[in-house]
Structure 1
Amino acid sequence: MGGIGIMIAFFAGILGSLSASDYSQYTYVFCAVLVLTMIGFWDDRKDMRASHKLIGQLFAFFLVVVLGDIRIESFYGFLGIYALPISVSYALSIFMLVGLTNAYNLIDGLDGLAGTLGAISCGFLGVWFMYAGYAVEGIICLGMLGSLMAFLIYNWHPAKVFMGDTGSLPIGCFIAVFALLFIRENGEMHPSAVYKFHAPITAGLSLMVICSYDTLRVFLRRIRRGKSPFTPDKSHVHHFLMRMGHGHDQVAMFLGAIKLLFLGMVIMCSGLNEHLMFPFVVGLTIAFGSLINVVTLKRMRAKVRKSPPISQRYPIKPTATIKSKSTWEDEPVLES
């Protein structure tokens, strides 16, 4: 439940940095974050049913999308689509928030991993908002960055504190909401603006590229094997990297570096449009994932071939003392 500390630090930071009018612009976002913090807290304590968690999440996202009016309003010409009908806009925005929030929740499987990926996203958003002239949004994102950096001091391997659903659900929601804001503000910017991304949807989704790819990959893998996509297992990308012999901190830094690579590429190609960037980023993501799978399997097979048989590593030891007939006739249960 380390998320409690993250949320306390975050709200304390922005309350001391923003005026009441600035804070009121995002009242519904903060309410949604608090709702998801409570849902995560209860799930960490009592292990809620997935359907109950989903209902709570939908309520939180209703606050953001319908009451807060933070949503995908247009595709800005991508696939020939511009302004979306209001019903489609609401449905698509809530669907994206559900998907991205739970994708971030699922990546929280190693010490320091979710905190590292979240800090990178918040840092990118905070810097962009500040330079693009959105000071309030920039301060809010940098406030979350500061909270995550402080948390990582105690969550870095070997971790003393863990985020839990108390932290991963609200932070995933936070990043997803401000990614939607990032997409909207970029889409509405003048084409000649200095800090405009001409592929706003691709740039926004790149903030969650590791989480999104991992979730889709795991879900498809489970479905192919005839299992429920929500069945927990050890098939996430960070589990594969761990099987290669890497430690928690190495995996966190490796996946963080890949995310920085994607964001750097998006920044360098900010002048390209959506029709070029979207297939390029999707193709590159699949290529990276396939490469990791191939390398992991090769190293695991090589490791197995070099390892001694299990019988040599873990010799079988007798676990029961066999008594004579005269003894066990009187005692029905064998001593172990």
Structure 2
Amino acid sequence: MGLPLAIATSFLVTLTLMPVVIRIFRSIDLLDRPDKRKIHSVSTPSLGGIAIFIGMLMALLLALPIAELANEKYLLGATSLIFLLGVRDDLSSLLAQHKLVVQVFAAFLVVFLGDVKIEGFNGLFGINNFPWLMDEIFTMFVIVVMTNAFNLIDGIDGLAGSIALVIATFLGWAAFQSGLYVNATLAIAVSGATLGFLLYNWYPSKVFMGDTGSMVFGFILTVLMVKFLTTPIPPSTILSPVATSLALFALPVYDTLRVILIRIFTGKPPLSPDRNHIHHVLLKLGLNHSQSTLSLVSYNILMIAFAVGFQHIGELWIMLIMTVTTVTIGALLDRKLMRREAARLAQIIPPEIKVSKSHTSV
């Protein structure tokens, strides 16, 4: 009864609160306004994450016994901190270093006090167990990086929510398979809230999740992924937990590394905002928001299916194939965009310049 109650509650509460959030923030004119860096053309409320968080919290309160909730107090407390950080950042932008301090503290609560940590790589690269303290430090690093990476993919209508839905649904299934119903309930609560949000965030979007939603999604899904890595799953189900975890977050990981490298090579600060994300590339190539979102989500699902379906070939081979495939497809898309941009520039060369060149050659 717990799982159906969790998904139904989070979905209905989020769905019910979303119009209220939209109306309130429109009435006080607190909107995300278009500018040269953003791709939306209409001022839109950007704190949809408030309804998402309340929906998830209500689901957990109803679906889990108090004793189970108490066991997850550090995760819930840390997620609440991330939520408040997101609200503060959406209301008035914070400096990156200030956000980082809160994110590190939230990760500390989960890792050191909640005892959620990656102890090794399941034998991958010969690493079964990390040395003392390395497991905690590495886990905190992963949580903070993936929280911000997930935030970066929230650039077009429906994308971040759809990716969150895919990841949460898979992690909920994996936890259920392992008999870990608390973890399954957490994941399913995320799925339900995401569904309620997507009904208002699909193109043309009526509301954005903002940092309030994207950082909460990134944080809680990464923590659930860490729990997935350290969970004894029936051998017939998942043989490649590390590769599967990479497949789950393939899009945020690739997109983050890609834009950081582009910024470094072009002489820009690694954390400076731009329109070079992979979803921007698809839009520039002529796809609309829905087509771009469906393309990227489909690829994410394909990576997960590959990691699970071909787990018998070994984690290293799975990760290598996924990496080469993703980088190759990304490079082909970039090349196609560069050719299109070059052709467009050639078409807008003023006629007098062409004539001048012609006379010179004669």
TM exceeding 0.5:
yes
TM-score range, shorter chain: 0.7 to 0.9
Give 1:27's aligned residue.
73
AA aligned to 2:323 is V
Match status 1:293 vs 2:334: yes
The one-letter code sitting in structure 1 at the alignment partner of 2:151 is N
Distance in 2 (CA, whole Å) between partners of 1:309 and 1:102 is 44
Residue in structure 2 matched with residue 98 of structure 1 by the alignment: 144
- Contact 2:174/2:233 (<8 A) preserved: no
- Which residue pairs with 2:53 in the alignment? 7
Q: 1:152 aligns with which of 198, 215, 229?
A: 198
Partner of 1:231: 272
Within 2, Cα distance between the matches of 1:245 and 1:67? 48
Deviation at 1:306, TM superposition (A): 5.8
| Max Rg structure | 1
Aligned to 1:221: 262
Which residue of structure 2 aligns with residue 242 of structure 1?
283
Q: Find the aligned partners of 2:133 and 2:145 in 1 and give their Cα distance.
A: 18
Distance change >3 Å, CA 309–CA 256, structure 1 → 2: farther
Shift of 1:36: 0.5
Q: 1:318 maps to what in 2?
A: none
Name the SS for the 1:158 alignment partner: coil
- Name the SS of the counterpart of 2:311 in structure 1: coil
Bigger drift between 153-162 and 280-289 goes to 280-289
- The corresponding residue for 2:222 is 176
Distance in 1 (CA, whole Å) between partners of 2:165 and 2:337 is 27
Alignment correspondent of 2:297: 256
User: Of residues 127, 132, 141 in structure 1, which corresponds to 2:187?
Assistant: 141
Q: Are the counterparts in 1 of residues 146 and 253 from structure 2 also a CA contact under 8 Å?
A: yes
In structure 2, what is the equivalent of residue 334 of structure 1? none
Stretches of structure 2 that go unaligned for 5 or more consecutive residues are: 1-46, 352-362
Q: Distance in 2 between matches of 1:295 and 1:75?
A: 37
Q: Distance in 1 between matches of 2:248 and 2:175?
A: 14
1:69 aligns with 2:115: yes
1:308–1:245 distance in 2 versus 1, CA, 3 Å? farther
2:106 is matched with 60
Aligned match of 1:122: 168
1:289 maps to a residue whose letter is G
* 1:287 Cα deviation from its structure 2 partner: 1.6
Q: CA deviation at 1:291?
A: 2.2
- Alpha-carbon distance in structure 2 between the residues aligned to 1:17 and 1:230: 39
**What is the TM-score normalised by the length of structure 2?**
0.80
1:238-258 CA distances to partner (integer Å, 9 max, x unpaired)? 111111121111111111111
- Does the C-alpha gap of structure 1 residues 295 and 5 become closer, same or farther in structure 2, counting only changes over 3 Å? same
Residue by residue, what CA displacement relative to the aligned partner does 1:130-153 show, whole Å, maximum 9, x if unpaired?
123222211210110000010000
For residue 86 of structure 1, give the secondary structure of its aligned residue in structure 2. coil
CA contact (8 A) 1:111 1:156 kept: yes
> For 1:60 and 1:234, how far apart are their aligned partners in 2?
29
Letter in 2 for 1:82: N
Query: In the alignment, what sits opposite 1:321?
Result: none
Equivalent residue letter for 2:255: D
Shift of 1:207: 1.1
1:110 aligns with 2:150: no
1:278 is displaced (CA, Å) by: 2.1
* Residues 123 and 142 in structure 1, CA contact (< 8 A), matched pair in contact too: yes
Give yes or no for contact 2:49–2:211 (8 Å, CA) kept in 1: yes
Among 73, 78, 101, the residue aligned to 2:124: 78
- State the alpha-carbon separation in 2 of the partners of residues 162 and 308 from structure 1: 39
- Give the Cα–Cα distance (whole angstroms) in 2 for the partners of residues 292 and 31 of structure 1: 41
3-state DSSP of counterpart to 1:234 = coil
Seen in structure 2, the aligned counterparts of structure 1 residues 302 and 124 have a Cα distance that, compared at 3 Å, is farther
Q: How big is the shift at 1:128? A: 1.8
What is the distance in 2 between the residues matched to 1:189 and 1:123? 16
Pairing of 1:311-322 with structure 2 (within 5 A)? none
Normalised to the residue count of structure 1, the TM-score between the two structures is 0.86
Question: Displacement of 1:14 after TM fit?
Answer: 1.7
* Cα distance in structure 1, aligned partners of 2:54 and 2:217: 13
Shift of 1:184: 1.1
Distance of 1:304 and 1:225 partners within structure 2: 20
1:307 shift after superposition: 6.8
Task: Give the Cα separation in 1 of the matches to 2:268 and 2:349.
Answer: 33
- Structure 1 gap ranges (5+): 311-336
CA distance in 2: counterparts of 1:292 and 1:262, whole angstroms: 18
Distance in 1 separating the partners of 2:271 and 2:224: 26
Specify whether residues 199 and 63 from structure 1 end up closer, same or farther in structure 2 by C-alpha distance, changes over 3 A only: same
Pairwise CA RMSD of aligned residues? 1.7
**CA deviation string 1:89-118 (max 9, x = no partner):** 111111111111100001111111111111
| Structure 2 equivalent of residue 327 of structure 1 | none
Equivalenced residue count is: 305
